Structure 1
């Protein structure tokens, strides 16, 4: 089968590999769509903390069941599915509490023997496979996983409809966090970015207002003036230098920051802002099954135009172009899907 590899930093190739075999509790999925995620770009650039080249890329997927193991009972050949792509292994706090994202040995596609989703076929345990409702297209189905990240962020933020919320970064995760917040009936939202085109999408998806902060040194003050005061919750979806302290200065006393983005560098914290004003910084790591189920429900409800996040769909032969586009923000790229259905 054909598979998309990152062989070295910024080197993407399509290679022929053996079609994987399945175990008795596993499902073989014929991949229709796979998404390029921000964490995939970290791998592409050689910066990911645990997913290292050479590796078959991808963890976002939607496809059709091609084969099932002898012990599989919840899905059958021909079913349309997506996957919650994380495994908790070993005896750990995550396994004991049901929070797979807490697991001491958490596995994701592209780690060890678990191959990534950017291939003609992908294997997942039955326990991680979710059926797609008939009304949900493969394009939207592939958004379940990144939307679950936004849903978990909203959960960690303890979002309430009356909250005034800022989302810092209008990449796919920022936009899907906006969707998760909007699904909780929050109307007072501001989304920031350094490009106008994703902010246009944010407004289409329900953001009350947006702010291009490119080249602005006083954007924190401007954001609070636009919204009529400080924010109850701030979601950081772009891990850029200085963003923690900027978020702290956006926040009201007793407010909460949720860190959703991946951070490559250390961040300084204004401890006076944190302590004297009883502000909170909360970590946020992937999702758990309730988040995935809620994400799928939001997609099925079809009340939010999630398809606007998808900017490009490319055949797998052009995967290298897709990674470059996302990395360099070329051609107004946001979420780029890699197609295997030709």
Structure 2
């Protein structure tokens, strides 16, 4: 089968490899479409903490079941599915937490012998596979996983309908966090970024206001003045750029909460005086758990919010290298890029 490899830092190739041999508890999926995620770009650049080249890339997927293992009971050939791409017991330091994302030995595609999703076939344990309703297309189905990140962020933020929310970063995760927040009934949402086209997508997806912060030293003031309602109840960091943690604290009201969704590299400074004296909170946020994935699928299946607006490109797998380049370099007004195996 054909598979997309990150062969080395910033080097994408397509190779022929063997179709994964199915284990008794696994489902073989003929991949229709896979997504390029921000964390895939970290792998592509050689910066990811645990996915290291050479590796079959990808963890977002939608496709059709073509074979089931001998012990599989929940799926049959022909089922349309997506995958929650993480395996773990929920055990952390000897304690069963009930949260897979807390697992000390968490496994994801591209780790160990679990190949990534960007291939013609992808084998997954039955427990990680989720059936797609007939009303959900493959392109929508591949967005379940990244939307689950946004849903988990909204959960960690304890988002309420009356909250005033700022989302810092209008990449795919920022835009899908916007969808998750809107699904909670929030009406006042300000999104910031440095790219006008990304902000235009945010506006189309339901942001109340958008602000381009590039060369704008007053953007924090502008954000607070937007909608004439002052500081924010919740701030979601969806772009891990230097200084953004303190920026988020400056946006926040007393007692408000910052949720860190982006992947960070290097240190961030924290204004501890502002944090302590104003009882502000900074909350970590890592992937999702099954309730988040189920909620993400419900949001998509409802059809009330147009998640597909986040998709800017759909390329054949032979053009995967181009896809990674345009995402990494933010070329051709790229937002969410899908890789097709049709």
TM-score under structure 2 length normalisation: 0.98
Structure 2 partner of 1:215: 215
Structure 1 SS opposite 2:206: coil
1:92 shift after superposition: 3.3
Structure 2 partner of 1:323: 324
After TM superposition, what 4+ stretches of structure 1 lie above 6 angstroms from structure 2? none
Structure 2 partner of 1:258: 259
1:236 shift after superposition: 0.1
Where does the alignment leave 5 or more consecutive residues of structure 2 unmatched? none
Structure-2 separation of matches of 1:40 and 1:86: 15
Shift of the 6–95 alpha-carbon distance from structure 1 to 2, 3 Å rule, reads farther
- Once the two structures are superposed, residues 50-95 of structure 1 have per-residue CA deviations (whole angstroms, 9 ceiling, x without a partner) of 1000000000000000110111111101100000000115853698
Structure 2 partner of 1:82: 82
On the 8 A contact 2:90/2:96 being kept in 1, the answer is: no
Structure-2 separation of matches of 1:27 and 1:98: 24
- Once the two structures are superposed, residues 174-226 of structure 1 have per-residue CA deviations (whole angstroms, 9 ceiling, x without a partner) of 00000000001100000000001111111111111100101112211111011
On the 8 A contact 2:194/2:214 being kept in 1, the answer is: yes
Number of equivalent positions: 341
- Once the two structures are superposed, residues 242-283 of structure 1 have per-residue CA deviations (whole angstroms, 9 ceiling, x without a partner) of 000000000000000000000012000000110000000000
On the 8 A contact 1:94/1:104 being kept in 2, the answer is: no
1:186 aligns with 2:186: yes
On the 8 A contact 2:195/2:212 being kept in 1, the answer is: yes
- Cα RMSD of the aligned pairs, angstroms, is 1.1
Where does the alignment leave 5 or more consecutive residues of structure 1 unmatched? none
On the 8 A contact 1:42/1:48 being kept in 2, the answer is: yes
Structure-2 separation of matches of 1:149 and 1:307: 16
Structure-1 separation of matches of 2:31 and 2:89: 25
> What pairs up with 1:80-119 in 2 under 5 angstroms?
80-89=80-89, 91-92=91-92, 96-119=96-119
On the 8 A contact 1:157/1:233 being kept in 2, the answer is: yes
Structure 2 SS opposite 1:331: coil
Structure 1 partner of 2:236: 235
Structure 2 partner of 1:283: 284
1:31 aligns with 2:37: no
TM-score under structure 1 length normalisation: 0.98
Structure 1 SS opposite 2:96: helix
Structure-1 separation of matches of 2:239 and 2:93: 28
Structure 2 partner of 1:165: 165
Structure 1 partner of 2:271: 270
